């Protein structure tokens, strides 16, 4: 029975391959094992543990779900949580060395600090009005001209000292409120996430004059709308020592893993290897290259324990992105359930 449980819940790392990679937990697949699904069983086993949280990064453990659910959650974070991004650029003058198309592309990838939940999706209508409204559009202006700095020293060689506006950055963005946006959201409500993102370099006589429109969108339409820099997961490592490893072998074992995975403790004056923090393991299998150690260690990955890492681009905090992804997944499940009910009613009527 223990062997069956290991096959169901563990992915085994071997010296020359990986075992138990399949995921087949349907009823009857494992003899003597009850794999029928129930809400009580799910709620008992499922949990989310927040490991670390900053203004831009979140690491948490999701335990008790199928890999398909975990991957759906990851894909929603990447491609279906909406953000605001620059969609249209009207260039009035660009005498920099960057072509108009490249400049517009660079601008489109700049993350905008604006809560997409307060905006509507832009409806494309054949009215000839490209400005948009205060409910679906944010407008920025970028107007910069490079000139010589009359106060620069004679020995200066740094362009930032020789010229004014030698570097065009997101600090030069100017928000142009539409309709009643300023009264509703405040005078400094919307701006690029960072003020020091380099857009172009200018020299005296060169200038950039353009207008930008930000709209609401999702990552599967264009990568610029993706709210995360990274959203990934990995399986929780499990390291089992089959016997006590002492003395020099303990120190040797410690060096086979990433820092902090294996500790060496003193027991009655003898160094003994212990598993300290398996989550720091990076799937290295160096231990299998040592004949005196490879049979003493078992390396697994827990199949239903996922370590998620989410890094926000800055438009929304990572915990907000996770909450929005959960809401989108719930909405998808509800829609799917409604479609199934509708199909069932049609079959009943016929």
DSSP class per residue in 226-292: -SEEEEEEEEEEEEEESS--BHHHHHHHHHTS-TTTEEEEEETTEEEEEE--GGG--S--GGGG-TT
Q: Are residues 57 and 104 in the same domain?
A: no
Asked whether residue 208 is domain-assigned, the answer is yes
Q: Are residues 125 and 62 in the same domain?
A: no
Q: Are residues 161 and 206 in the same domain?
A: yes
pLDDT grade for 5, boundaries at 50, 70 and 90: low
Report pLDDT for 22.
74
Asked whether residue 164 is domain-assigned, the answer is yes
Share of the chain above pLDDT 70, in %: 92
Q: Are residues 218 and 236 in the same domain?
A: no
Tell me which residue range forms the domain holding 303.
10-80+231-242+296-310
Q: Record the pTM.
A: 0.85
> What does the pLDDT look like over 246-263, one tens digit per residue?
999 999 999 999 999 999
Q: Are residues 173 and 305 in the same domain?
A: no
Report pLDDT for 283.
83
User: What is the CB neighbour count within 10 angstroms for residue 272?
Assistant: 17
Q: Are residues 140 and 205 in the same domain?
A: yes
Q: Are residues 97 and 71 in the same domain?
A: no
Evaluate if residue 3 carries a pLDDT over 60: no
Report pLDDT for 25.
60
Asked whether residue 23 is domain-assigned, the answer is yes
Asked whether residue 93 is domain-assigned, the answer is yes
Q: Are residues 237 and 174 in the same domain?
A: no
Q: Are residues 67 and 157 in the same domain?
A: no
Report pLDDT for 28.
61
Q: Are residues 172 and 61 in the same domain?
A: no
Evaluate if residue 19 carries a pLDDT over 90: no
> What is the domain-level CATH number for residue 67?
3.30.1360.10
pLDDT grade for 1, boundaries at 50, 70 and 90: very low
Report pLDDT for 185.
94
Asked whether residue 286 is domain-assigned, the answer is no
Asked whether residue 20 is domain-assigned, the answer is yes
How many whole angstroms separate alpha carbon 342 and alpha carbon 321? 32
Asked whether residue 269 is domain-assigned, the answer is no
Asked whether residue 282 is domain-assigned, the answer is no
Q: Are residues 76 and 87 in the same domain?
A: no
> What is the domain-level CATH number for residue 163?
2.170.120.12
The total number of structural domains in the chain stands at 2
Report pLDDT for 136.
93
Q: Are residues 95 and 207 in the same domain?
A: yes
Distances (CA, A) of 219 to 76, 78, 92, 101, 135: 9, 6, 29, 21, 21
Domain end call among 226, 257, 284: 226
């Amino acid at each position: 029975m223990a062997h069956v449980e290991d096959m169901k819940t563990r992915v085994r790392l071997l010296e020359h391959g990986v075992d138990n990679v399949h995921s087949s937990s349907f009823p009857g697949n494992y003899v003597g094992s009850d794999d029928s699904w129930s809400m009580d069983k799910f709620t008992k086993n499922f949990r989310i543990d927040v490991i670390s949280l900053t203004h831009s990064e979140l690491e948490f453990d999701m335990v008790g779900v199928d890999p398909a659910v975990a991957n759906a959650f990851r894909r929603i974070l990447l491609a279906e949580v909406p953000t605001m991004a620059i969609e249209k650029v009207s260039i009035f003058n660009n005498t920099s060395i960057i072509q108009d198309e490249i400049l517009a592309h660079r601008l489109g990838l700049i993350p905008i600090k604006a809560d997409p939940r307060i905006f509507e999706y832009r409806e494309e209508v054949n009215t000839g009005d490209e400005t948009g409204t205060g409910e679906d559009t944010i407008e920025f202006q970028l107007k910069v001209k490079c000139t010589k700095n009359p106060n620069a020293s004679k020995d200066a060689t740094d362009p930032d000292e020789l010229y004014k506006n030698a570097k065009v950055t997101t600090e030069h963005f100017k928000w142009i409120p539409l309709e009643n946006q300023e009264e509703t959201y405040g005078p400094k409500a919307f701006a690029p996430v960072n003020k020091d993102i380099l857009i172009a370099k200018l020299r005296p006589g060169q200038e950039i004059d353009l207008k930008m429109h930000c709209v609401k969108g999702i990552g599967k339409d264009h990568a610029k709308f993706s709210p995360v820099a990274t959203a990934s997961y990995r399986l929780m490592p499990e390291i089992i020592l089959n016997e006590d490893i002492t003395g020099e072998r303990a120190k040797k074992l410690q060096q086979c893993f990433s820092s902090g995975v294996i500790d060496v403790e003193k027991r009655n004056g003898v160094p003994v290897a212990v598993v300290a923090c398996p989550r720091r393991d990076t799937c290295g299998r160096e231990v299998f290259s040592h004949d005196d150690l490879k049979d003493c260690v078992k390396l697994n990955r827990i199949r239903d324990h996922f370590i998620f890492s989410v890094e926000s681009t800055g438009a929304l905090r990572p915990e907000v992105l996770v909450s929005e992804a959960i809401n989108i997944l719930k909405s998808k499940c509800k829609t799917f359930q409604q479609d199934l009910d509708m199909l069932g009613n049609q079959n009943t009527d016929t």
